């Protein structure tokens, strides 16, 4: 087991502090940051403008956390699913999606998830631990290296609940967002939450321009609690209050995710309730045709119902779009990242 510190866990200011501790000037941190995120080197030996002595010091203190690909699958639509070795015997999944407007990476924030949403394949996965900031950032670097191209967008919609690992997620955003680093604009980063209400207030006050997505999926507490146990902790009223406050503070649009399950939350009554809930809010609704998971009770709505649902929302003043399903043939679509892969490891 690696005991060295991960050099990618630090944002630029923290790296300056780290270097100060070992008697180095802050500009060295900028040089290292550039090597890591602009030049994307894989070893301290490649940081050729640092003295040999400093390179040795760095090697003794830090690891670079370079992921190895355990498995890679490619869908007919170009979506790629990676299983990475995170170097402690565990593995994580990351998905790359290709859109006209660029390449989007769906990153995991935890190994496993505690939320227990009934329709999500992560639910059967035992929660093991949070990913560190560097372990989140490394997913971007490793995919960029594999495709030899730049990632333009990041969504925190892989395995895990980003707000259950809030500090590390925020730090990872600051690292990828830094113009001296990967320089991925915060507007190109989305964080999705099942609804950990206190963290919505926290994010509102972070002054980070990323997009907030809320996994809503139902419009009343009975239905939402059946789908998402987190609703028993923070109900819809508390969630909507936090969302309204978030919009007030940030003046930013919220994206509400709504996975349509047949005969559960997909009829026009539900659409009507959704309109009432979101009326007047600065928001957008992302309709996801639900992906049935093994032994799951929720099945996909018919295309006809999905379109009717979308049209109802649009006709009643709520902007709604249907999310394209990418990567379903390799189990890389929403909620399909699976236990069999995640527990892959040497432990
Ligand atoms: N924990 C976070 C992020 C991970 S899931 C969250 O809950 O938001 C990313 C999105 O995929 C969420 O909106 C989630 O509700 C949705 N999702 C999970 N399983 C799904 C499934 N089987 N079909 C469709 N969407 C699903």
Query: Model confidence over 223-267: pLDDT tens digits?
Result: 999 999 999 999 999 999 999 999 999 999 999 999 999 999 999
Task: Give the DSSP H/E element, type plus range, for residue 308.
Answer: helix 303-315
Q: Which atom of ligand 1 is nearest to the CA of 115?
A: 1
Condensed to tens digits (0 to 9), the pLDDT of residues 153-196 reads 999 999 999 999 999 999 999 999 999 989 999 999 999 999 99
| Alpha carbon of 65 to ligand 1 centroid (Å) | 28
* CA dihedral sign, ordered 285, 157, 155, 164: positive
Nearest to 214 by CA among 286, 111, 124: 286
Ligand 1 mean position, distance from CA 335 (Å) = 5
- Residues acting as catalytic residues: 93, 334
The lowest-confidence range among 2-6, 64-68, 255-259, 312-316 is: 2-6
- Confidence band (pLDDT; 50, 70, 90) for 138? very high
Residue located via tokens 């929720």: 298
Topology of the domain comprising 5-63 = DNA polymerase; domain 1 (1.10.150)
Euclidean distance between CA atoms 162 and 196, whole angstroms: 9
DSSP E strand boundaries for the chain = 5-6, 62-63, 68-74, 80-85, 91-99, 102-106, 110-111, 129-130, 153-156, 189-193, 211-215, 254-260, 283-289, 320-322
pLDDT at 341: 52
pLDDT reported for residue 268: 96
Domain residue extents for the chain: 5-63, 68-342
Residues within 6 Å of ligand 1 by CB: 115, 117, 119-120, 157, 161, 192-194, 215, 257, 259, 288, 290-291, 293, 334-335
187 Rama class: left (phi>0) / alpha (psi -120 to 50) / beta:
alpha
- pLDDT tens per residue across span 285-329: 999 999 888 888 999 999 999 999 999 999 999 999 999 888 878
Position 52 pLDDT exceeds 50: yes
Residue corresponding to tokens 């990323």 = 210
| CA 336–ligand 1 middle distance (angstroms) | 9
Give the pLDDT score at 266.
97
Ligand 1 mutation pick, 257, 286, 298, max ligand atoms within 8 A of CB: 257
CATH number of 68-342: 3.20.20.70
Atom of ligand 1 nearest to the CA of 214: 8
Residue 336 confidence (pLDDT) above 90? no
Give the strand pairing for 62-63 and 68-74.
unpaired
Q: What is the DSSP letter of 8?
A: G
Residues 6+ apart with CB under 8 A from 149: 103
Indicate if the pLDDT at residue 43 is higher than 60: yes
- Which pLDDT belongs to residue 2? 53
Residue with the bigger pLDDT between 89 and 247: it is 247
- Nearest Cα neighbor of 274 from 291, 258, 250 is 258
The whole-angstrom separation of Cα 195 and Cα 235 is: 9
Contacts of residue 17, Cβ cutoff 8 Å, sequence gap at least 6: none
68-342 and 5-63 share a CATH fold: no
Which protein residue has the closest C-alpha to ligand 1 atom 10?
Answer: 157
What pTM was estimated for this model as a whole?
Answer: 0.95
Average pLDDT over residues 59-80: 94
- Give the pLDDT of residue 26: 94
Q: What percent of the chain has pLDDT over 90?
A: 85
Q: Considering the chain, what percentage of its residues have pLDDT values greater than 70?
A: 97
Q: Answer yes or no: is pLDDT of 273 > 50.
A: yes
| Coil/strand/helix, residue 322 | strand
- At residue 214 the predicted structure's pLDDT band, cuts being 50, 70 and 90, is very high
SS3 helix, strand, coil % of the chain, rounded to 5?
40, 20, 40
Dmax (CA) of the chain:
69
- Report the separation in Å between the CA atom of 160 and the middle of ligand 1, taken as the mean of its atom positions: 10
pLDDT-based confidence at residue 60 (cuts at 50, 70, 90): very high
* pLDDT score for 340: 55
Residue 257 or 87, more confident: 257
pLDDT higher than 70, residue 347? no
pLDDT at 135: 98
Contact by Cβ (8 Å): 210, 199: no
Distance CA(139)–CA(128), nearest Å, equals: 18
Closest CA to 217 of 181, 192, 199, 200: 192
CA distance 294 to 119: 9
Whether the CB-CB separation of 292 and 265 falls below 8 Å is answered with no
Q: List pLDDT tens digits, range 184-208.
A: 999 999 999 999 999 999 999 999 9
Buried b (16+ CB within 10 A) or exposed e, 225-251: bebbbbbeebbbeebbebbeebbeebe
DSSP of 40-109: --SSGGG-TTS-HHHHHHHHHHEE----EEEEEEE-TTS-EEEEEE-SSS-EEEEEEEEETTEEEEE---
pLDDT at 345: 39
What pLDDT does residue 165 have? 98
């Amino acid at each position: 087991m690696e005991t060295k510190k991960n050099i990618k866990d630090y944002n630029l200011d923290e790296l300056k502090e780290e270097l100060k501790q070992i008697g180095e000037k802050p500009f060295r941190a900028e040089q290292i940051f550039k090597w890591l995120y602009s030049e994307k080197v894989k070893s301290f030996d490649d940081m050729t403008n640092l003295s040999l002595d400093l390179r040795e010091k760095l090697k003794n203190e830090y690891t670079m956390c370079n992921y190895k690909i355990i498995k890679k699958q490619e869908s007919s639509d170009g979506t790629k699913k990676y299983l990475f070795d995170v170097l402690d015997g565990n593995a994580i999944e990351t998905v790359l999606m290709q859109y006209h407007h660029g390449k989007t990476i769906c990153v995991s924030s935890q190994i496993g998830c505690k939320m227990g949403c009934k329709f999500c394949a992560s639910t059967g996965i035992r929660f093991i631990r949070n990913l560190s900031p560097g372990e989140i950032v490394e997913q971007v670097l490793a995919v960029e290296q594999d495709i030899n191209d730049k990632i333009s967008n990041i969504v925190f919609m892989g395995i895990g609940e980003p707000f259950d690992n809030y500090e590390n997620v925020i730090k990872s955003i600051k690292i990828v967002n830094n113009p001296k680093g990967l320089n991925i604009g915060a507007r190109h980063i989305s964080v999705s939450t099942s609804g950990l209400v206190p963290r919505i207030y926290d994010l509102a006050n972070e002054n980070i321009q990323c997009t907030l997505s809320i996994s809503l999926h139902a419009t009343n507490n009975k239905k939402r609690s059946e789908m998402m146990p987190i609703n028993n902790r923070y109900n819809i009223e508390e969630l909507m209050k936090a969302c309204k406050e978030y919009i007030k503070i940030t003046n930013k649009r919220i994206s509400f995710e709504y996975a349509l399950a047949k005969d559960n939350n997909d009829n026009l009554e539900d659409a009507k309730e959704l309109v009432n809930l979101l009326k007047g809010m600065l928001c957008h609704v992302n309709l996801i045709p639900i992906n049935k998971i093994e032994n799951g009770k929720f099945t996909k709505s018919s295309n006809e119902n999905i379109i009717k649902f979308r049209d109802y929302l649009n006709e009643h003043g709520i902007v709604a779009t249907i999310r394209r399903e990418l990567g379903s043939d390799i189990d890389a679509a929403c909620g399909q990242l699976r236990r069999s892969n995640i527990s892959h490891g040497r432990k």
